[in-house]
Structure 1
Amino acid sequence: MAPAKEGSTLAAPAGYTAVPVKFSEERRTHHYLYIKEHKVREDLDQTRPQNRTLFVLNVPPYCTKESLSQIFTSCSPVESVELQDKPGPSETQSNSVSKHFSLRHLKGFKVAYVVFKHPSGVQAFKSFKVKKPIVLSGIGHSIKTGINKWIDNYRASLTDVAELQAEVDEFMKGYDERVAEEEEKAKEEEGVPDEEGWVKVTRKGRRPGLARTEAVNIRVTEREKRKRAQKELLNFYAWQHRESKREHLAELRKKFEEDKQKIALMRAQRKFRPY
């Protein structure tokens, strides 16, 4: 959205409150934040409690979490501020496994969710009146731009090896505990028939697998019987051993004669004859 000029007013969309902000005192133009109370069903968004969360639209690219917290702290203490590309569920909870692999810098205009520590924060904002644009970058809360911002982004992208190792160790510890619990539970359930009389069979010494059905067990048993029968009938008698050896020697002699003929043919076709 194009920036507004100093002293101009803009009607907010239905249900929203317009709050003007600008980057610094020297700027002649400002942007409007469109804010309303965040209302959804509690079971859909548990990270943003009812009656304590504000939804903010049209957040300019230079606006940071600290800047938004500074704005709304005048109403009530702020618990958390979350910036996203578009409205939706919390990205930090749904997409990120580790903070070391979710270093994504948002670009362009964004949306924000501001959570107060107390429900009185939302009520205080409804009576909040702004006569002139709020300055986001001042002496007490400066916003870094240009090369200083790039340096901070680069430093944030560097991974602390010790911290990452500690996080990996903690994850593996929890994983090993879950595997041990599953194996212990499988041992307890193994051999105990369920309500329909079926017994769960697992592979001992490994992680518990899926129980086989009756049809699968029958097919596996029949296949093993056929393999066993073939091994027992193959070379069972002494004359079978003699016949197999004789056939093997005949095959070797045949290949030897074929190789001799190939060598003779190659010598006859050779153009260069040194002798």
Structure 2
Amino acid sequence: MDGFAPLLVTFSSPGGHSSTHTIYCKAHSLKKTSEHTPNGRTLFTLGWPPYVTKRCLEEVFSRAGHVSHVILQLRGALMEDTECGDGFKVGYVVMSSKCEVTSALKLCSLSSPLPCTLTSLGLTLWVKHYTSNRPSLDMLESSVAIVMEKHDLRVKAGKEERMKAAAPDEDGWITVTSRGNRRKLSDEPAGKGRKQKKKELVNFYSWQLREGQRTEIAKLRQHFEEDKLRVANMRAARRFKPY
């Protein structure tokens, strides 16, 4: 990597686990200076594994001088100081003087890795992170109990509201809503009752149609007889009467 110097660091834990990583370092310099990462006194490093802490960086670079402070963040984050995260991290190590930054870069020329001690590493550390990020069984049961209690209260309130709406008022009137319970008025199956009503309805309209046809025929006959009488009167009025 252009401008970076490799630094070997071996991370070990009291349980006997160890892991060696290559950390890349260079002097941090920007056109716009910052009070958190001043130019000349800041060392920019990357490649730190997810389980490292600020104490690790201080332990590694304190061999070159006094470490003023450390900013540790996930790679790609915008100056968000954090020790948590599942990805590899970048670190800004601020030394007390420019000479100490030069001394810190000389550590990269060492042939043997620099040791760094961690409280836990490997599977032990992952199990610790897993258990710390998830609630315990007692906490989960408590949360479920609270949710179910709120649900029961909502159901009870809705039931009481429906019963109150179905009760008659002072004048004996009952407000009927679309969500009211529908009761059967007979023991016959619902399908059979609907079919019988439909059949009766069809028969009623057929009878009404026949009665309408009979009435129309009677009116036509009456008009026919009236027209016959009118024609006969007109013919009688048109006869020639010489005397």
- The TM-score, its normalising length taken from structure 2, stands at 0.45
Bigger radius of gyration among the two: 2
Task: Give the structure, 1 or 2, with the largest relative contact order (CA under 8 Å, sep 6 or more).
Answer: 2
